[in-house]
Amino acid sequence: MPILHVQLAAQGQTADGKPAQLAPAVALQQRGPVVPVVVTIEQNAGKGLLAQGKPLPSPKTGLALIDTGATGTCSDEQSAQELGLPIIDVAKLTSASHADQDCNVYPAQITIQNLGLSINSPHTIGATLAPQGLLILLGRDLLAGCTLFYNGQAGQFTLSI
């Protein structure tokens, strides 16, 4: 069972604009539980592309937010398009800011870099995540097979898969 334990660190600014190290608890509260990931096409969809003589898209790296509020896993829409991931469906997305927005669905493979663990996410929903500095939201569809321990006071989280 792979286990990832993270204590966040971040820099902020003092009132006079000088850089200052944030306490781990503050860093975790402000950024959330994020992990570095690599995203590419899901394995079965990739085999289909290769069978058609098409090249596999190049992987993309970024941050994934472990999001227990997201029913499904999401990928940044622009990044999914840049990766050349095939659109396999359209789904309705409801969020805190809007309801029933039509979004593309992509087959993706997500590798959590710190674990070297690849997870197939065959129904990844495209959403606008880049403005938040995110490539992926790891939703409850993937978290269903995980244990997450969030220690806000210590600024730590642990994810086991």
Residue located via tokens 């569809």: 141
pLDDT value of residue 11? 85
Q: What's the 3-state SS for the chain?
A: CCEEEEECCEEEECCCCCEEEECHHHHHHHHCCEEEEEEEECHHHHHHHHHCCCCCCCCEEEEEEECCCCCCCEEEHHHHHHHCCCCCEEEEECCCCCCCEEEEEEEEEEEECCCCEEEEEEEEEEECCHHHCCCEEECHHHHCCCEEEEECCCCEEEEEC
CATH code at 30-160: 2.40.70.10
Report the 10 Å Cβ neighbour count for 149: 12
**pLDDT tens per residue, range 113-122:** 988 889 999 9
Contact 138, 68 (CB under 8 A): no
Give me the pLDDT at residue 97, please: 72
Residue numbers of the chain with a pLDDT score lower than 70: none
Specify the pLDDT at position 50.
Answer: 85
**Global pTM value:** 0.88
pLDDT given for residue 94 in this prediction: 81
